[in-house]
Amino acid sequence: MNQETMTTQATMRRSTIKDVAERAEVSLKTVSRVINNEPSVASATRARVAQAIAELGYEPDPSARNLRNGLSFVIGLVYDNPNPYHIIAMQKGVLAACRENGFGLQIQPVDSTSPSLADELVDFVQRSRLAGLVLTAPMSERKDLVDALAARGVALVRIIAATEDPDDGLPCVYVDDRNAAYEITEHLIQLGHRRIGFLWGGPQHRSSGERYAGYEKALQDYGMAVDAGLVVSGDYTFDDGFRGARCLLALREPPTAIFGSNDEIAAGVLAAAKSTGIGVPYELSIAGFEDSPFSRQSWPPLTTAKQATDGIARQAARLLIASLRRHHAYADHPMTTRNQGFMPQLVVRGSTAPPQLRPSSSKGNQ
């Protein structure tokens, strides 16, 4: 059987380590040594095996590598978030990093308020034989939970809201929600708005507080008082955006602009405005946060802060995998283990404009 025939037959099915050994004319043990980057292989032999691996498209079996090296090649993504677009983008980003590095992915929704969450996550890691976890908010921002997992030997990377690297010895990817929210609020102020409503996301998420802090700081820097009557609590959902907006629009002096803590909230605001006959953007400007499909598919499209959620998640997974490889001495896969920050960028669209007088109405009472 000639070499071309062997290659064709091998590539029609999943190539095995035996195919590589036959192609390179070496033993199975030699192929294994090359795959595991052992030093006791002559350079010419190593090159021949590498060429056979490339030609056959051979990929080592992760489960076999687990047994040999004591490192699982599967990581977990843990989330508790009501926003489906955010979750999908997170999954997409982590999965991309896993595919780049030959890792598998287990996805686990959890109840972040569970008093036994640390035990549940340790059980998830052990039962699924995971190498580590990518923790999203709000779990990633619970110091007690993070410390408990670290104390029990769970490798993890956190995705958190912060203006700078916390430098607390625990790996993370951090997102500067505060300054991005400042830019959104500043944009509304510079358009001429003086009564700007703010709709909170879930208070258990640090991002909600960071976005409110950016809103508050922008008002203060422009000499505007923070009016507690224009601030409404809620969660990161369309329904809470709708309800919060209806409350604000019923005021005797309603806001001329509303900043929703995410795009789902802002889409709810847009629906509330349309349900009451208020024109957007000239009677009411609306801004969101994250640049989800809600912001691009609504009419008018929403001004927002573009947050690369999939890129953030991808970097978090890369950071976790790099940390795992560093601890297991995978010198053939050099990757950075440095924390990285992201800054969402203001995107101005048709939902914001200078304010115009709204037709008078006697419907509202403060």
Distance in angstroms (rounded) separating the CA atoms of residues 100 and 112: 30
How many angstroms separate the CA atoms of 42 and 152, rounded? Answer: 41
Q: For residue range 4-62, list pLDDT tens digits in order.
A: 444 444 444 567 778 888 888 888 778 777 776 666 778 888 888 888 888 888 766 55
Query: What's CA 40's distance to the chain center, in Å?
Result: 42
Q: Do domains 3-60 and 177-306 have the same CATH topology?
A: no
CATH architecture, domain 71-176+309-344: 3-Layer(aba) Sandwich (3.40)
The values of phi and psi at residue 257, to 5°, are -150, 145
The class that CATH gives domain 177-306 is alpha beta
Measuring CA to CA, which residue among 211, 75, 82 is closest to residue 135? 75
The pTM assigned to this predicted structure is: 0.75
Got the DSSP string for 267-309?
A: HHHHHHHHHTT--TTTT-EEE-SB--HHHHHSSSPPBEEE--H
Alpha carbon distance 85, 347 (integer Å)? 18
Which superfamily does 3-60 belong to? lambda repressor-like DNA-binding domains (1.10.260.40)
pLDDT at 12: 47
pLDDT, tens digit (0-9, with 9 covering 90-100), for 140-173: 999 899 999 988 999 999 999 999 988 787 889 9
DSSP state of 152: T
The domains of the chain are located at 3-60, 71-176+309-344, 177-306
What phi and psi, each to the nearest 5 degrees, are found at residue 265?
-60, -45
